[in-house]
Amino acid sequence: MLYRPLGMGSTSSRFTDFLARPNHAVNHVKVADRWEARYQRDPDAQSPAGGVSSSLNDMTHWLAMVLADGVYNGRRITSPEALLPVYTPQVISRHPVSPRARASFYGYGFNVGVTSSGRTEYSHSGAFGLGAAANFVVLPSEDLAIIALTNAGPIGVPETLTAEFMDLVQYGQVREDWAALYKKAFAPLNELAGSLVGKQSPANPAPSRPLNDYVGVYANDYWGPATVTYHDGQLRLSLGPKNQTFDLTHWDGDTFTFTLSTENALPGSISKATFAGDTLNLEYYDADKLGTFTR
């Protein structure tokens, strides 16, 4: 309904199509001072909101349609009425902090605002912590848009490029140190998860109970069951419909740890797994106080 009429032959909402393309970018994550291709994330579960693969050439077709209120190469793709809620304010996303400041808004999928030059601008970013980041900005008064796609994590590179370009368009010069601003803004997205990150294990930890004492299925109405097994001297934790399994490493007393490499827990993240009687608390899953499982 959209890709074919726009001639977007390198665009798909299916992960299998992306993998099948011989010429596709591989996601990269930062390891120490290097960028490495370590993970391939399957985003099909979120396809309408982050699972589309495309090329710069294809995305220019889409932007041309957006700028033309739903028309591409003389063909009506969608109506202006259908697009209007997308790039007009529907909710306030950021309230002004002073009488002189401007509010920021959100449409149905786009950031919407007014620049200091008085022009309406809409945009959006998208990123995977495991190695992809993109940003587009549209300046409808100038019939102009820009998009930047990268195959590295969210560190502000595409946003810096598009912001500098829009500065040059509107003011004739780059007016801010966008790289430094976006680096600071995106820093929290690149922090490792877990209260034990960077800490040394206790030199004289309290002993655990016999490892078989921890074995069992622990129930949780929100997350589902967590299964703890013991085999060949190793305690393991299994979670989720795909039975994702983690080795549990003793830390201190009834507290163990396991490492994570997920979209929201970047490589190097550590979660505590703390046993207490017939309960098991998983730190990573407890951000909203829902991470306690009961045997």
pLDDT tens, position by position, 186-224: 998 888 899 999 999 999 999 999 999 999 999 999 999
* pLDDT for res 31: 82
Architecture of domain 211-294: Beta Barrel (2.40)
Helix (H, G, I), strand (E, B) or coil at 111: strand
Strand partners, 138: 122, 145
* pLDDT for res 269: 92
For residue 263, pLDDT over 90 is answered with no
User: Taking residues 248-252, what's their average pLDDT?
Assistant: 97
Q: In terms of Cα–Cα distance, which of 231, 234, 246 is closest to 283?
A: 246
CATH hierarchy code of domain 15-190:
3.40.710.10
* pLDDT for res 71: 97
Q: Which helix (H) or strand (E) holds 60?
A: helix 56-67
* pLDDT for res 50: 86
Dihedral angle computed from the Cα positions of residues 40, 3, 63 and 155, in that order, rounded to the nearest 10 degrees: -10
Crossing angle between the packed helical segments 157-171 and 178-186, to the nearest 10 degrees: 140
Segments making up each domain of the chain, as ranges: 15-190, 211-294
pTM over the 0.75 mark: yes
| Phi, psi angle pair for 191, to nearest 5° | -80, 145
Dihedral angle computed from the Cα positions of residues 130, 177, 141 and 90, in that order, rounded to the nearest 10 degrees: 50
- 211-294 matches 15-190 in CATH topology: no
Q: In terms of Cα–Cα distance, which of 250, 237, 261 is closest to 201?
A: 250
Residues 6+ apart with CB under 8 A from 178: 156, 159, 160, 163, 164, 167
**What is the rounded CA–CA span in Å between residue 116 and residue 98?**
15
| Phi, psi angle pair for 126, to nearest 5° | -150, 145
